[in-house]
Each structure stands twice: as C-alpha cells, then as structure tokens.
A and B are shown apart, each in its own frame.
Chain A
Amino acid sequence: MNERQAVDDLFASTLRDSEVEPPKAVWNGIVQQRGARHRGFLFFRRHWGLLALILLCSGIGTYEVVSRSAGEGKITSNDPVHAVGELPMEPASKKEAARNATVSATGGSMPAASFERVVENDSAFPLKSSSSMSRPSATGGVGKIVHAEKVEASATPDQEAVPLMVSLSPLDRQTIQAALTPQVESVADQSNDRFSAPAPVDAGIEIQHATIAGPIDISDMRIERLRIRPELNDLSIGHATPVARAVPSLPRSRIRWWFGLDVGSYAETRKWHGGDLVIAQALNSTERSHPVWGTGLSGGLVSSKGWGLSLGVMYCASRSEFRHVDHVLAPMDSLVPYVVTFNGEVIASYTETVSVLAPAQEQVAAENRYSTLRIPVEASWQHGMGRWKYRAAIGAAVEYNTLRSGVTLENGVDGSGLSTVDVRSTNMKRNTVLMTGSVALDIGYALTENWQLWAGPSYAIGLFPLSHNGNSPYAMPLRSGIHASLCYMLRVHE
C-alpha cells in the first residue's frame, strides 16, 4: 500500500537532492578531529613503548630480587637456630655432643659459661651448598686437652658456611674472656680474607672441641655476634648442656612516615545535575572533555606490612571550550511596500522600514576556566620487589570547584529562553563542594633509601554534592589520567 501523500512528494522532490555548501569551519573541524585521533593513536603507541620499558625494568628487578631471595632461602638453613635443628641428633647424642662441646676448667668448679660464635654468610653473596660440618665427636671425654683444629676457608660454592657453636661449662667467665678475646678479635680482623686460624685455647683449660671436617669458606662471611651467655651458669659439670638456641623474634610492626610532591594530568568530563532540569541539560550539552593539570602535597604513613594511609591537598586547573546556541529576540528590519492606486492606476508608491523583534539564533563560543581544590584521603597497600614497588589505593576527596572565568547559562529575563552570561557580570560562579571517590594503581621506584618516585593511572568520579541547595545545578566530574609523586620517607618508628 502506497502511503505517500502529496506533501511528502512536495518535500521530497525539493529537498532530497538539495545542496547547501557547508561552512569552511566544518572541514577544519573534521581535519582537526582526524588529526587529534591520529595523534592520540601515536601518543598511545608511545605509551606502549614506555609501558614495555617499565615492564622490562620490572622484570629485571624482579629477577634480581628473586634470585637473591633464592640464595637467602638456602642460607636460611644455615641460620644457627635452624641449622643446628636440622642435624639428626638423637636425645642421647645431644647430651654427648653437648658434653663434648663443653670446655671445662681443670678444677671443675668454676661457674659455667657458654658462648657461641655464629658465622653467617653475607646475604649479598649467597653460598649455595649443603652442610659439610660434622657433628661434635662423641668419643672425646671430659678432661681431654684438645686444640681447636685449623679452620680453613675455601671459595668453592658447593661448600657451606655453618654456624660454629661451642658451649663451655663450667669455666670462669673472666678466664674465658681473657683467653678468647684476642682470638676473636683476630678472627674478626681477618674475616674478609682467606685465613687459617689455629685456635689454641691455652689457658690451662681442657677443651673438648667440635671437629670441623672440611674447609669452610669465610671469605664472604662475617662474625655477627659473640656473646657470653650467663644463663647457663647454673649448669653443672659434665651434664648435657644443650645449646640454647636463640628464639627468633618476629619483626615488630614498623611505621614509616612520608611526605611527597604530587603532579597529575587528567582528562575530565563534567555532568550537571540538580536545579532546573532545562539548564542542567543545556549545560551538559556544552560540556566537552578537557584536560586538567594538578599539583599538590601529600603525606602519610606506611606500615611494614604495606598498608598505608595518606592525606593531601591538591590544586587543579582546567580550561574547557564552551559552545552554545542562544535563542534570542533580535531586532529585524523589514521593508513594507505601499502602492496607492486610483482607478487601476498607480498614483503613488513608497516603502517603509519596519523594525520588529524576531526570534534569532546566536552561536556563542567561549573558554571556561575552572579551579578545583581537593583534599584527598587514601588508603593503600603496597608491595616491594627490591627497589621496585607497586601500590593500589582507594580513597575519597572533598572538592571545591569554581568557575574562575568564562560563561554559563541562565534563564533569560525576557522569557526568550536560556542565554549565555559572563560569570564576571553575575554571581553565578557555579561553585560546588562535593565528595569524590578515586582508585589508583602505582608503580614506584626507590631512588635512594629515602626518596621514592611513584607514578600510575588514576580514576576519580563525583559521588555526591555537599553544598547543593536545590536551586542551582552542580557539576559532577569524571576524571581519569596519570599522576606521579616524589616521596621522601622519614626514619622508621617502632
């Protein structure tokens, strides 16, 4: 069924193939928009390169840290606490071992004392080997004079540094100190060299010692602690004296304070709500995505577990293009011809200019400048891999937005609809106080022990207004971009 009517054909025949030459500004706009997309693609591609570089550096850093940690993990078994525990000691042999490791005075009535020398590897140069130290001999008896054998170091990586633990009991504390201090100092002085350290304890002391079966590399070792352990004083002679193992203390929660300088570059779009619906919709039609630059200061704390809390203040500035078509009543002149005729003959004619107010459209273009003051509070969690770190943060911010200069829309006083007004000629600054929420993902790099550099993408969205009075519209921002901060870490507080 043909539903077409004459009026359809009238408009179709006239308008279907009509041609109107567009303004040149349209073609310029097309070229600019195409160029912007092209530049955007290139910009994005450059960022891929940067991202690849960051990932490469992160990978190298991770590899270094992981390989270092792996070495540390092996050496951990050499920790005096764990290494001794790993030895397959039977209860009886423990007693004998302890007895064999007992250095007793000839008199046998001196107060007991014990000390331990713990040799650990330097974590920076891990040794990769299993234990080669034999257990203390069970054959030696009390009172047998023995000398410490040669302690020799070798640089082969398949041999392991093990803790040397010696318990002396009963012995006068002062005597042992007087006898051993020079030896220990000598060892300490040579701790970085390959050395052979005969350690005769020749102070009239009968020593039963632990035999070290095999050379030990101490070129990369250091003596960590040497202490008298008076807690073993009450132990009697000849009794099994298990070596008191140090109980590892859990690391206390440490908090580091920091403060930093923040900068950010974002793309922002604003959506108007509230107030007169017509004005809000009209303002939305004028909004375009625009760049925002921000800078500020922040500070906070981060625990040893990685949890952190921060507070800051940031100032953001932006420029936005404003375009609107105002419907106004404009004066319009019309020529009205008058012809005076008499008996069919024209006896006079004249024209008159009549000026009337006619509805007209007026295109307005302006640049709006916005300022935003933000007070963000963020909770974060971070994790480190050597110098590299990553962090996830979520937060909220109180924002104060104001239109510094430019134009806005308001209802015309003459009923002609919405019209554009300069904010300098009116009090309509479109100020808004609102709450925003934000999330961010950062990658950080420790420049030094105290200075850290963080950067990453962030996203913020307006949540709700805090100053809305119901009459005027307010703008809720939607902001995404990248930010960076240079942080200074203060010293640790336990």
Chain B
Amino acid sequence: MYALCLRYARNSAEAEDLLQEGFVRVFDKVQGFRMEGSLEGWVRRIMVHTCINHYRKKSVRNEVLGTEHLDERSVGPMAVQNLGEEELLALVRELPDGYRMVFNLFAIEGYDHAEIAAMLGCAESTSRSQLAKARRLLQQRLNELRPTERHERATSGR
C-alpha cells in the first residue's frame, strides 16, 4: 500500500501521510467489511479514495503543458527492458498532479474514464486529455533517459 501511496503522492512525506490517513480509515471502517470480496482489494480501494480525497482537498490546479514539443515516438522495447521499478515510480511521481492522478487511475488501477471523471469531479473529456498528456510526457522522459542517467538515478536512489 505504501507503493500505491508513493505513486499518488508528490513525495515520500506526503505518501506517508496518505498511508497513515488511509489505514486509520481502514481501521475505522473494518467492521463494515462484509467479507464478500478480497480484503486487499477493499483496502486498496480505500487507499485510492484517500489519495483522491487528498488530491481534491488540495485543489491543485492542473498544470497545462504544451504538447507540440512532445516527442510522439513510442517507447522502444529496449528502453522498457532496462527500466527498473524505482525509475518508473520516479517518472510517475514527476508528473503534474492531474496527470499523475488520471494516469494512475486509468493505467494502473484499471478504471475507465467515466469512473475517473466521477471520482475526480471533472469531465470525461478532461480525463482523456489528461491521460494523453501524461502518456506523452512519460514517453518523452523514457526516450530521454539514457543508460548513464539511469545509472545516476539508481546511484542517487531516486
């Protein structure tokens, strides 16, 4: 669950706060768990909603980035092969808040745009747009990553 919070948070401290808040909520609501599904899935949903609520409380305005300069090339198989878990996590955390939320919910959690729009309180088209921009930004960063940079990132622990 801490890895989940790390994906939604900007930094480790915020992720720790989210994890703490989420688990307090889990303990508060555990009596309402009806044992009909997976406990892990239930806890995961609570964590995701905690992160979404935190995001909505902050009311962070999504940064609008220009897309004309973004590289449209897709990610090469070699680049994917050589990327580690920490590097991918770092790339996700570098995304602006709005991009990060939509990308996490769609690509990793598996929600569709209608659900994401309902959860974030935005239009479905906004969710699609944010996802497209997040993908392009990630692809650009992946293509820019060279083995040396990856080595430095791994050395610095980021």
The residues of A with any CB-CB pair to B shorter than 8 Å are 3-12, 14-16, 18-23, 25-26, 29-30, 33-34, 37, 323, 325, 332, 334-335, 358, 361, 363
A93 CA to B51 CA in the complex, in Å?
A: 93
A-B contact pairs, 15 of them (CB 8 A): A3-B113, A8-B135, A9-B107, A10-B75, A11-B108, A15-B3, A15-B92, A18-B89, A20-B2, A26-B2, A30-B27, A34-B24, A332-B156, A335-B155, A361-B11
Bound CA–CA A4/B126 (angstroms): 17
A279 to chain B, nearest CB (A): 16
State in angstroms the CA–CA spacing of A29 and B92 once bound together. 26
| Residues on the B chain within 8 Å of A29, using CB | 16, 20
Map CB proximity to A onto B1-20 as digits: 1 under 8 Å, 0 otherwise.
11100110001111010011
**CB within 8 Å of A: which B33-85 residues:** 74-75, 80, 83, 85
Let me know if B135 and A7 touch, CB within 8 A.
yes
- Find A361's partner among B1, B12, B155 (CB 8 Å cutoff): B12
Q: Are A8 and B106 closer than 8 Å at their CB atoms?
A: yes
Q: Are B24 and A15 in contact (CB under 8 A)?
A: no
Contact check: which of A4, A6, A23, A325 meets B75 at CB < 8 Å?
A: A6
Chain B residues whose C-beta falls within 8 Å of the C-beta of A14 in the assembled complex: 83, 85, 88
- B130 contacts A by Cβ under 8 Å: no
Say which residue of A6, A9, A323, A363 sits within 8 Å of B74 (CB atoms): A6
Residues of B within 8 A of A37 (CB): 24
Question: Would you call the interface of chain B mostly helix, strand, loop, or mixed?
Answer: helix
**A37→B28 CA distance, assembly (Å):** 10
Q: A20 is contacted by which of B3, B24, B152 (Cβ under 8 Å)? A: B3
Out of B19, B27, B155, name the residue touching A334 (CB < 8 Å): B155
Shortest CB distance A118–B (Å): 71
State A363–B23 Cα separation when bound (angstroms): 22
Asked if B75 contacts A358 (CB within 8 A), the reply is no
Interface residues of B (CB under 8 A from A): 1-3, 6-7, 11-14, 16, 19-20, 23-24, 27, 74-75, 80, 83, 85, 88-89, 92, 103, 106-108, 110, 113, 135, 138-139, 142, 152, 155-156
In the bound complex, how far is the Cα of B107 from the Cα of A450, in angstroms?
74
Report the Cα distance A325→B13, complex, angstroms: 7
Report the bound CA distance from A16 to B20 in whole Å. Answer: 20
Q: In the assembly, what is the distance between CA of A107 and CA of B6, in Å?
A: 117
A4 partner, pick from B19, B83, B107, beta carbons under 8 A? B107
CA distance in complex: A302, B33 (Å): 57
On chain B, the residues within 8 Å of A15 by CB distance are: 3, 7, 85, 88-89, 92, 108
> With the chains together, A14 CA to B12 CA distance in Å?
19
Q: For B108, what are the chain A residues with a Cβ–Cβ distance below 8 Å?
A: 8, 11-12, 15-16
Q: Chain B residues with Cβ under 8 A from A21's Cβ?
A: 2
CA distance A3 to B107 in the complex (A): 10
Q: Which of B16, B75, B155 contacts A25 (CB 8 A)?
A: B16
* Assembled-state Cα–Cα distance A33/B110 (Å): 32
Known contacts A20-B3, A325-B14, A11 near B107 by CB under 8 Å: yes
- Give 10 new A-B contacts, CB below 8 A, not counting A6-B74, A12-B107, A15-B92: A5-B135, A10-B75, A11-B92, A15-B7, A15-B88, A22-B1, A22-B16, A26-B2, A34-B24, A34-B27
Contacts of B12 in A (CB 8 A): 361, 363
> Chain B residues with Cβ under 8 A from A334's Cβ?
152, 155-156
Point out the residues of chain B lying under 8 angstroms from A361, CB to CB.
Answer: 11-13
Return chain A residues, CB-CB under 8 Å to B92: 11, 15
- A332: nearest residue on chain B (CB-CB)? B156
CB <8 Å contact, B138 and A20? no
A30:B88 contact, CB within 8 angstroms = no
Partner of B24, one of A18, A19, A33: A33
B24 adjacent to A30 (CB under 8 Å): yes
Residues in B whose Cβ lies below 8 Å from that of A6? 74-75, 80
Residues of A within 8 A of B7 (CB): 15
A106 to chain B, nearest CB (A): 99
A338 to chain B, nearest CB (A): 12
B13 touches A26 (CB 8 A): no
How many angstroms between the C-alpha atoms of A5 and B19 in the bound complex? 29
**A355 → B minimal CB distance (Å):** 12
Smallest Cβ-Cβ distance to B14: which chain A residue: A325
Q: Determine whether the beta carbon of A325 is less than 8 Å from that of B11.
A: yes
**Nearest-CB distance from B83 to chain A (Å)?**
8
Q: How far is the CB of A286 from chain B (nearest CB, A)?
A: 11
Q: How far is the CA of A9 from the CA of B107 in the complex (A)?
A: 7
- When C-beta atoms are compared, the residue in chain A nearest to B135 turns out to be A7
Q: Does A26 lie within 8 Å of B75, measured CB to CB?
A: no
A26 to B14, CA, bound (A): 11
CA of A356 to CA of B24 in the docked complex: distance in angstroms? Answer: 41
Q: Which residue of B lies closest to A361 (CB)?
A: B11
**A34–B27 Cα gap in the complex (Å)?**
8
The residues of B that contact A9 with a CB separation of less than 8 Å are 107
Residues of B within 8 A of A22 (CB): 1-2, 16, 19
Docked Cα-Cα span, A4 to B138, in Å, equals 15
A169 to chain B, nearest CB (A): 88
Query: Is B107 touching A8 in the complex (CB atoms < 8 A)?
Result: yes
- Separation of A29 and B14 alpha carbons in the complex (Å): 13
CB-CB under 8 A from B89, the residues of chain A are 15, 18
Residue from B27, B108, B139 having most chain A Cβ neighbours under 10 A = B108
Which of these, B3, B11, B110, B138, contacts A7 with CB under 8 Å?
B138
On whether the beta carbons of A11 and B88 are closer than 8 Å, the reply is yes
